[in-house]
Structures are given as C-alpha cells and as structure tokens.
Amino acid sequence: GNRTFTMIKPDAVEKGHIGGIIEQITASGFRIVAMKMTQMTKTDAEEFYAIHKERPFFGELVEFMTRGPIVAAILEKDNAVDDFRTLIGATNPEDAAEGTIRKKYATSVGENAVHGSDSDENAAIEGAFHFSGREMF
Ligand code: ATP
C-alpha cells in the first residue's frame, strides 16, 4: 500500500515539535495527502484505540490522547506503513534507533510523540476515522 495515517500526539504538540516532525516526515519522502489540527473526545479515543481496551494502560492512553490537540495526517509514499514505522522508531523511545522521530521527540512509552498505522488495513480505517473524502488531496 502507498498510504499511512499518523498523529502528532498531545505531548509533542505541547512542546512545540509540530514543525520539526512535519519537516522530518516530508524530508523523508512522504507526501501529505490530508492534515489537520484537532482534539479527540474521550469517545473518539476509546473507539480509535478499541483494540487496546483490555490493556492495563488503556485509561492512561485515552486520558493522554485527549488532553490537548493533535495533528492528524494521511501520508503517501511507496511502502508507506513500514517506511513510516521505521522513521518513527520503536514504541518505547529508549529502544528507538538514533535519528528516529521518537528518539528525538518522545518522552516515554506512553507519551511517544507520534502514531503510525501498523497495517494497510488500519491505515485506511484510521484515515477514514479522521478525514472525509473532500479533505484528502
Ligand atoms: P501507535 O499505535 O501509537 O503507533 P505502537 O504501535 O508503537 O504505537 P502499541 O503497542 O500499538 O504501540 O500501543 C499504542 C499506544 O499505546 C502507544 O503508542 C503508546 O502511546 C501507548 N502505550 C503502549 N504501551 C504502553 C505502556 N506500557 N504504558 C503506557 N502507554 C502505552
């Protein structure tokens, strides 16, 4: 697939890292198909992260993802899902490779600066969750 979905999470927005992160994404060859600043409601976050609802960190994750604005985007590139997950690095910034977005900007395994879809199927579902057809270019 050639598209993925990302969010710049509330921690990175709060710390003023929107510009740095978008610069690294576009410099790495991703084209921005759709992008907006928005804030998820509790209901939105519970639905978006429904797959994690039995995990011990679910409440913390919903609380974190709704505490402030995010930047949501759909990105286009060959091999988008895998290449984007390489660009962002491991979930836990302590394990993230040097130069990755999470190594540079994440604070912890929970507050890890960015989201990246884990499959083509989820990229399509997550993109459609945040954007209508008229918001995609
Ligand atoms: P994402 O789905 O955000 O790209 P990921 O696929 O790297 O992240 P997942 O294991 O799917 O990681 O977890 C989803 C999100 O839940 C993580 O990005 C992180 O914000 C949060 N999370 C994961 N593990 C923990 C944990 N142990 N404690 C707190 N929050 C966590």
* Tens digit of each residue's pLDDT (9 = 90 or more) over 23-45: 999 999 999 999 999 999 999 99
Kind of pairing, strands 70-76 and 31-38?
antiparallel
DSSP state for residue 9 in the 8-state scheme: -
Q: Whose CA is nearest to atom 2 of ligand 1?
A: 115
Task: Work out the mean pLDDT of the chain and round it to a whole number.
Answer: 98
Atom of ligand 1 nearest to the CA of 65: 20
What residues have CB less than 8 Å from 63, skipping those under 6 apart? none
Q: Any idea what DSSP says for residue 17?
A: -
Query: Does residue 17 have an active-site annotation?
Result: no
Protein residue whose Cα sits closest to atom 22 of ligand 1: 110
Q: Please say if the pLDDT value at position 71 is more than 90.
A: yes
Question: Tokens 């990105």 — which residue?
Answer: 75
Structure tokens at 46: 């519970």
Bridge partner list, 73: 6, 35
ipTM of the complex: 0.93
Q: Copy the structure tokens of residue 53.
A: 């609802």
